[in-house]
Amino acid sequence: MTGTNEAPPFADIINGTLELAIPIAHKMGLKAVEVRRGFAATTVPAEGNGNHFGVMYSGVLFTVAEILGGAIAVASFDNSRFYPLVKDMQIAFKRPAKTEVRAEASLDDAEIERIAEQAAANGKSDFVLNATITDTDGTIVATTRGLYQLRAHSKQGM
């Protein structure tokens, strides 16, 4: 950052939030590596995240993808008005992961606008986020389909 009034990059915000709000994800070594409006990418190392037969534990693969919904919401919506939550998540395991993995997902501008307008009008809006998880060779090791919801913060005292 060059100026004192600049906001930190969204990836830094997500990484700081993980450490405080979801410490188990932080302990996994999960990192947001790219977060911008409509796009998020996260990584997690293989080291320390293995299972009983020498590949990445399935819960780690789930987590590296599930975090994307919150990351995209932070970068795409007014966080003073809305917050995200996950309602449902499905994962399809394709290949064993033996290396660091990267999860990516995106929402297009039209979908972001639909979600924001519906959440403003109704207090909430569901959206689907499909993610791909790849190893360091680019092999798809899993895919996910997450159903998320953007919710308006409650108006206390009204």
Residue 157 has pLDDT above 80, yes or no: no
How do residues 57-105 score in pLDDT, each as one tens digit?
999 999 999 999 999 999 999 999 999 999 999 999 999 999 999 999 9
Topology classification of domain 10-152: Thiol Ester Dehydrase; Chain A (3.10.129)
Res 3: pLDDT? 47
Say whether pLDDT at 7 is over 80: no
User: What's the pLDDT band for 5 if we cut at 50, 70, 90?
Assistant: low
3-class DSSP state of 20 = helix
Q: Where are the domains of the chain?
A: 10-152
Helix or strand or coil: residue 66? helix
CA–CA distance, 143 with 93 (Å, rounded to integer): 7
